[in-house]
Amino acid sequence: MELPYLLQVGDDDALLYVNAFAVLFFSLQMLVMCHGYFFAARNAARASVLDHKWYWLFMPAALVLAPLLLQALGMVKLPDGYRPLAFVAVSVVFAAYFALSVHMALKIGQAVRRANEDTYADSDDFPVRFAQYVQWLPTFICVLMAINFYADNAIVKAVRDVFFTGMNIWFCIFTLNPWRQPYADRTDEIVKAAADDMAEPAPVAGTFRLTDERFMQLSRKLDDLLTKERIFTEQHITSDLLTARLGTNATYLSEVIRRSGYQSFYDMICQHRVRHAISLITAKPDERLLVIAEECGFSSPASMTKAFKQLGKQSPSAYRQQG
């Protein structure tokens, strides 16, 4: 559709057409793609109706662009002074598309929050993160194309082409990257570690390596780290880091954790994070779950919800509703 400009580089009519095409069609194209990816109806009949509704949105743009294309190709001669009218017509249609892009961004944001707060599954990890990355992309495309259109300059268009090409390459690599690994946070390690620990017998009296005195010393230090320093709120806390903080070794740390009633290091961290999250939800009923999750050391509200369920708790949103 940009062929008229490629054949007449620098021609004012061709430049106006190609910039108008970019600001209208690229903006709407992103909206249709986001709708199809995130909100496609599961019912086939309903999906057909919705798809047709979205594609009808291309009609205003087509009506505005048709005379500009014919003018650029030299097939018609528009009246002198048509350019201001063309700018007005494009601006009206673009304003509607821009409003739709903002609505789409807010709609994606709401869907992400619902997915984070109410549901969690490993298969949802990538779609949710992908939605967060592209939430404002349609609006950004609208703004970028608007700047290009109103500048009405060949150099600005060339810069836009380079930038837009780079962004498309990133978009393709991000969505099609065969080396992408499924997202996994510490909660998965908690589950695995807990399963491993259940298969191993807990230490019993007479098999302890630590003396009672040394156990009490390390237990008090561990309790201080958990209750006073709240080491569990660090997202990337590991058993190695905790071992160094306690000034002991991995074997003794494991014994202290087990003798303290926990299944494993990750089970201990998870339990403290969940308890802290419940206290924050109760104390701050209006606080966003994203903020609470980060304050407790979870990587996302989704991982917090999963941790609640693994410990047999109701979801964070359910605790919030109870007040």
Residue-level pLDDT at 79: 86
Contact 36, 27 (CB under 8 A): no
3-state DSSP of the chain: CCHHHHHCCCCHHHHHHHHHHHHHHHHHHHHHHHHHHHCCCCCHHHHHHHHHHHHHCHHHHHHHHHHHHHHHCCCCCCCCCHHHHHHHHHHHHHHHHHHHHHHHHHHHHHHHHHHHHHCCCHHHHHHHHHHHHHCCHHHHHHHHHHHHHHHCCHHHHHHHHHHHHHHHHHHHHHHHCCCCCCCCCHHHHHHHHHHHHHHCCCCCCCCCCCCHHHHHHHHHHHHHHHHCCCHHHCCCCCHHHHHHHHCCCHHHHHHHHHHCCCCCHHHHHHHHHHHHHHHHHHHCCCCCHHHHHHHHCCCCHHHHHHHHHHCCCCCHHHHHHHC
pLDDT, position 191: 46
Q: For position 5, what pLDDT does the model report?
A: 53
Output the pLDDT for position 166. 81
Mean pLDDT in order along the chain per 10 residues (323 residues): 55 83 82 73 47 75 89 84 89 90 83 52 47 74 84 82 77 56 43 45 61 90 93 86 89 90 89 93 88 88 87 87 75
The two three-digit tokens of residue 195, written as one number: 């399963």
Q: What pLDDT score was predicted for residue 279?
A: 92
pLDDT of residue 88: 92
**Residue 313 buriedness (CB in 10 A; 0-12 / 13-18 / 19+):** middle
Which domains are assigned to the chain? 3-176 (no CATH), 186-322 (1.10.10.60)
CA distance linking residue 144 with residue 96, whole number of Å: 16
Q: Which two tokens stand for residue 282?
A: 């109760």
Interior angle at CA 201, CA 196 and CA 202, nearest 5: 100
The confidence score (pLDDT) of residue 276 equals 93
Whole-number Å distance between alpha carbons of 61 and 17: 12
| Sign of the C-alpha dihedral computed for residues 59, 65, 67 and 70 taken in this order | negative
Put simply, whether the predicted model's pTM sits higher than 0.75 gets the answer no
